[in-house]
Structure 1
Amino acid sequence: MGVLVLVTWVAVAGWHVRREYFAPAMTRLAEATLTLDPGTHFYAIRMAGRTIGTSSSRLDTVPEGFRLDDLTQLDLVAMGAAGQAVVRTSATLSTTLRLLTFDFALQSAAGSFEATGSVEGDSLLTVRIQSDGAPPEEIRFRVAEAPLVSGVLPIRLAKGGDLRVGRTVRFPVFDPSTVSNRVVEVEVLERGTVMIADSSYLDPATGRWKMARERAVAGWRISERYGGVQVESWIDDDGRILGSTSPMGFALERTEFELARQARDDTREAAALAAGRGGTPGGAAGDLSGDLVFSTAIASNMALDAAAGYDRLRFRLSGVTLDGFDLDGGRQALEGDVLTVTPEDWARLTPGYSLPYPRMDLREALEPEPLVQSGDPRIRAAAEAMVRGGGRLPNDPRVVAERLTRGVHGLLRKEVVFALPSALSVLESRRGDCTEHTVLYVALARSLGLPARTAVGLVYLDGAFFYHAWPEVWLGAWVAVDPTFGDVPAGAAHLRFVTGTLAQQVEIARLIGTLGIEVLE
């Protein structure tokens, strides 16, 4: 269920041109940015009618061109647990708004994650990653197009002369939170007017900040689409954000700093009072609208109290376009809008190889990747200790997969963690939710030569379907296991929608608030 926390961090970070452009076009863009006014804007972040955080965005001029600094402070509630985090993004940009250097950091009580980097020329990207309990990692890769960062994308749209209703433009964007590039399609939807708070004052009678004046700002409504996820925003003529909404249920609203901070503090005070009366940090007793996990759960039409015992389940999926999801294959079969899940018979599995996996066709499922440090000696030592029996290291993939599932399940204390986890940080802290269980399992498996990948979807629990993550291992086919619950194999009430790295996992966001599930049998 904690996979939503991870997706949330990426979604919040995401709030914050092609090389083949003709030189005259780039010259016009550089000239247009000369009219860009430096300044700082403040925002309130809302969810379910509550202000759960604040954000600021400052644009300055520097010798290279511009510097963009975004700061977000966020309070979240998941499964009744409250957590706070600070997300910082700084980027140095050229006069044409091309990314030169960046520094991204996420800090919470559970740990920290930082990614810094630079672009050489317009195609070589160097990224350095640092997370708790892990040595620094450096990644160098070439990109086909000179990238932007998400915070500057609307400014690039405005200063590039693309603010025309009906106009659609595609931009390459680098996301430091997932250490990946993506193509974002931006469409200009309409021209209109947005009312924003223009000033505030402290009321001496109440000691509270109040809005002194509203101001009408001419703006443009735009849509940003990537990986099936859509975010809508209102921007001003300079491309600065006036407000936006995301599929996660968050809303960003430009306001005055004092008003945003006061609204956030009011939410914190109300949460503390609710907790004292037997409620949750998200609200009063029985109010789950502010809880990230419970508010996004999908109620089941049928009780599946012994879900692990079903040898097959069928579900009708509705409310979303299913194209692009990894629904068909292996244990899952999709016919129209009906998904059938048939768990593997563990005793009948025949992997067809001995460890380590001998071929190159599954190389991506064997190699280290950001936050999955399967090449670290500490990961290898922990994996060997977990699966070794009678002094010998088994080479049967099925035996190793089962022992790792039981081992990770028993090793980690079950609790929601508000962080971007790495395998090494989880191994050190020995606590976490489904995301932590999965990232550690995948790293342990790969260190022993067992191909493993992350799956994200939904799982049935206590009358509802919750967003969840679990590993899949290659045993002649991709087989789901669940170290969070200790299930080998995972039961039929696991519905896989996405597989792959963190960048791919974020695509699950487009299901939230729209997916319907009907249990057929």
Structure 2
Amino acid sequence: MSSWFRPLPRSVTRPLSLLILAAWVGVMGVLVHRSYAQGAGNLATDLARYGSSAQWRGVYYRGEKLGFTVSQTVPLKADAGGEDEGFELQEDGQLQMSLLGAHTFTRLRTTARVNRRFELQSFEFALDPGTGPITVAGEVHDRALTISIATGGGTRTETRTLAERPMLALNLVRRLADTGLKPGARHRWTVFDPATLRNAPVTVNVGEREVVRGAAAPIPAFRVEMEFTGLKTTAWITDTGEIVREESPLGFITVRETPEQARALAVSGRMRRDLLESAAVVPTIETRTPPLPPIDDPRNVRLLRMRVEGADLSSPDLQGTGQRISGDIVEILDAETIAAGPAMDDLTPYLKPEPLIESDDPDIRAAAETAVGGAASPRARAEALTRYVNATVQKKPTVSLPSAREVLRTKIGDCNEHTALFVAMSRAVGLPSRIAVGVAYVRGAFYYHAWPEVYIDEGANRGYWLPVDPTFNQFPADATHFRLARGGLDKQAAILPLIGNVRMSIVDLEVVQGSTPVLVGGEAAAAAAAIADVRQPRPSRWCLPCFLGGGQ
């Protein structure tokens, strides 16, 4: 099989808890014009498969109704020997949000088949943000896993061999109930993590039995703390494995409800403000004499030094490419000061196509060649691509998994789509590139953001990685871009636990007045003027809190 296939993004697979996906979608924010009548009509057909034993739950964000889920376990018919073949696990859900005055309805559907030991046999997962579903399907044969990812642009498939036969996270609570819920019990199991195509550990701590309010009456249930890939949830589970209530970071909860209660949806203006505030990190500024200058324009920042608390700064991804970490101090330098060093030994991973970075697509290649035109040097070609992507993609926040091929077709998206398209086009013309995720400063706060890093080969076996930002039309990206991780959604999900927990304090700041204007949006033809550095009136810098998608 081809080697382009990378670990699946965690956000297109069934997470340990739907609350994790709810948090991811909520922080991203959306602007999808789709009416409730359209969403409800299609969803009603899917929900017809659920019987009277199905479990319905409402999903809430800080007391506001966000959506619902419904799930059930269906025994499969007996085989020739009279034994049950196993079970089919089914789950559907709908999440609704309001941001910038617009509503969106995102639908999720999961079907998984397991044997009598609840080992995974096959699964299908679909995420539809209202612009068309992205579907992930997989089949297990012994330790071989065949996975297909289908988007509007086509389907990619590969078979991988795992170290051991995968188990299913979807059935974790059922397995916990089968072992017997005992206060003080601690379990550490391995479950299949589709984000990395390998098994990953989950830690479960069983607490005391408590009385929790259910749909109609209080219900006794055990308090259970779970941690999976750094994400923590608290659930109240009955002896039979029913989740009565579940809580996760950022104020998201699910509660057992009647079908009528679960499907009653409404979004308030207060929820909209909460989502925006949750996605932002407002820094404090250290008191000094003379005082530190304000960040009126992030492009004028030449050095930013911050104290960062509530985040693990030990990852190698945080060092280099204009960033230095010393203890809890983060120093970000103007990318123009990055100097070339010895060339990397192997840049092949940053030139290969991936499921959502389709650099081998003929249309991507043709657009990339057009964008770079007569630019000769790697740096000039990288700048041409930055200007082209900025001028080509209309700035509209979306909630989807950004396929570069789809972005080129629709020419719509936010930082996720800009970055995915840039990385695919860059690789298509032989420029190694990768995705960086973190935060960027916008009007008084740091917002979660994505941008590319492109490798500039200076010859003589020397080169350097350069951060650029096609969303903001910055070449290179300004010094308020604080990188927290590199890679696709599997890596980006690792920063989700930081939301609401990170604290930043600016301890030093150097600002130089005067910079190149930012050109936002426009037709592709405007890219030439941007490259020529034609000074024009400066529009406001556009940004939306986004929790990020894309490939590595």
Equivalent residue, structure 1, for 2:389:
408
Q: Distance in 2 between matches of 1:421 and 1:258?
A: 34
Structure 2 residue matching 1:39: 3-state secondary structure: coil
**Kept in 2: contact 1:117–1:128 (CA 8 A):** yes
1:170-209 counterparts in 2 under 5 A? Answer: 170-175=189-194, 178=195, 180-198=197-215
Q: 1:317 to 1:397 in 2, by over 3 A?
A: same
Q: Does 1:40 align with 2:51?
A: no
Q: Does 1:378 align with 2:335?
A: no
What is the Cα deviation at residue 13 of structure 1? 4.7
Q: Does 1:169 align with 2:152?
A: no
**Kept in 1: contact 2:68–2:262 (CA 8 A):** yes
Q: Which moved more, 1:431-440 or 1:320-329?
A: 320-329
**Kept in 2: contact 1:442–1:454 (CA 8 A):** yes
Structure 1 residue matching 2:386: 3-state secondary structure: helix
Q: Distance in 2 between matches of 1:238 and 1:372?
A: 44
**Kept in 1: contact 2:212–2:245 (CA 8 A):** no
Equivalent residue, structure 2, for 1:251:
253
Q: Distance in 1 between matches of 2:218 and 2:181?
A: 25
**Kept in 2: contact 1:220–1:237 (CA 8 A):** no
Q: 1:294 to 1:431 in 2, by over 3 A?
A: farther
Equivalent residue, structure 2, for 1:98:
119
TM-score (norm 2): 0.76
Structure 2 residue matching 1:42: 3-state secondary structure: strand
Q: Does 1:126 align with 2:146?
A: yes
Q: Distance in 1 between matches of 2:283 and 2:382?
A: 31
Structure 2 residue matching 1:424: 3-state secondary structure: helix
Equivalent residue, structure 2, for 1:336:
327
What is the Cα deviation at residue 296 of structure 1? 2.0
- 1:335-365 deviations in whole A, cap 9, x for unaligned? 110100012227x765888xxxxx8712221
Q: Distance in 2 between matches of 1:11 and 1:319?
A: 28
Equivalent residue, structure 1, for 2:270:
283
Q: 1:179 to 1:324 in 2, by over 3 A?
A: closer
Q: Distance in 2 between matches of 1:398 and 1:349?
A: 13
Equivalent residue, structure 2, for 1:297:
280
Equivalent residue, structure 1, for 2:305:
314
Q: Distance in 2 between matches of 1:325 and 1:46?
A: 36
Equivalent residue, structure 2, for 1:107:
128
- 1:239-278 deviations in whole A, cap 9, x for unaligned? 332222222432111121111222x2xx24xx4xxxxxxx
**Pick aligned residue for 1:497 from 465, 479, 484:** 484
**Kept in 1: contact 2:302–2:334 (CA 8 A):** yes
Structure 2 residue matching 1:439: 3-state secondary structure: helix
Q: Which moved more, 1:474-483 or 1:510-519?
A: 474-483
What is the Cα deviation at residue 118 of structure 1? 0.4
Give the counterpart letter for 2:261 in structure 1: L
Q: Distance in 2 between matches of 1:11 and 1:463?
A: 35
What is the Cα deviation at residue 155 of structure 1? 1.7
**Kept in 2: contact 1:311–1:343 (CA 8 A):** yes
Q: 1:221 to 1:460 in 2, by over 3 A?
A: same
Q: Does 1:153 align with 2:172?
A: yes
Q: 1:139 to 1:40 in 2, by over 3 A?
A: same
Q: Does 1:467 align with 2:467?
A: no
Give the counterpart letter for 1:474 in structure 2: Y
Aligned residues: 448
Equivalent residue, structure 2, for 1:219:
222
1:356-505 counterparts in 2 under 5 A? Answer: 361-389=346-374, 394=375, 396-475=377-456, 476-505=463-492
Identity of aligned residues (%): 33
What is the Cα deviation at residue 150 of structure 1? 2.6
What is the Cα deviation at residue 477 of structure 1? 2.7
Give the counterpart letter for 1:67 in structure 2: E
Q: Distance in 2 between matches of 1:329 and 1:238?
A: 51
Q: Which moved more, 1:253-262 or 1:307-316?
A: 253-262
- 1:450-502 deviations in whole A, cap 9, x for unaligned? 11111111110011110111111122232211111011111110000010121
Q: Distance in 1 between matches of 2:467 and 2:282?
A: 23
**Kept in 2: contact 1:43–1:54 (CA 8 A):** yes
**Pick aligned residue for 2:159 from 140, 143, 159:** 140
**Kept in 2: contact 1:38–1:59 (CA 8 A):** no
**Kept in 2: contact 1:298–1:517 (CA 8 A):** yes
Q: Does 1:54 align with 2:37?
A: no
Q: 1:11 to 1:112 in 2, by over 3 A?
A: closer
Give the counterpart letter for 2:279 in structure 1: T
**Kept in 1: contact 2:181–2:222 (CA 8 A):** no
- 1:210-261 deviations in whole A, cap 9, x for unaligned? xxx30423324131221x2222222222333222222243211112111122
Equivalent residue, structure 2, for 1:261:
263
Kindly report the root-mean-square deviation, in angstroms, between the aligned alpha carbons of the 2 structures. Answer: 2.6
Give the counterpart letter for 1:338 in structure 2: I
What is the Cα deviation at residue 368 of structure 1? 1.6
Q: Does 1:72 align with 2:93?
A: yes
Equivalent residue, structure 1, for 2:106:
85
Q: 1:149 to 1:79 in 2, by over 3 A?
A: farther
Equivalent residue, structure 1, for 2:232:
230
- 1:283-309 deviations in whole A, cap 9, x for unaligned? 38xx611x3x44321123354122111
Structure 2 residue matching 1:136: 3-state secondary structure: strand
What is the Cα deviation at residue 378 of structure 1? 1.4
**Kept in 2: contact 1:119–1:125 (CA 8 A):** yes
**Structure 2: runs of 5+ lacking an equivalent:** 1-7, 19-50, 78-84, 286-293, 457-462, 509-552
**Kept in 2: contact 1:38–1:58 (CA 8 A):** no
What is the Cα deviation at residue 140 of structure 1? 1.4
Q: Distance in 1 between matches of 2:341 and 2:314?
A: 30
Q: Distance in 1 between matches of 2:12 and 2:273?
A: 23
Q: Distance in 1 between matches of 2:501 and 2:323?
A: 21
Q: Distance in 2 between matches of 1:309 and 1:372?
A: 32
Give the counterpart letter for 1:219 in structure 2: F
TM-score (norm 1): 0.80
1:24-39 counterparts in 2 under 5 A? Answer: 39=53
Give the counterpart letter for 1:165 in structure 2: G
Q: Distance in 2 between matches of 1:444 and 1:248?
A: 36
Q: 1:48 to 1:164 in 2, by over 3 A?
A: closer
Give the counterpart letter for 1:495 in structure 2: F
Q: Does 1:515 align with 2:499?
A: no
**Kept in 2: contact 1:87–1:107 (CA 8 A):** yes
Q: Distance in 1 between matches of 2:167 and 2:10?
A: 21
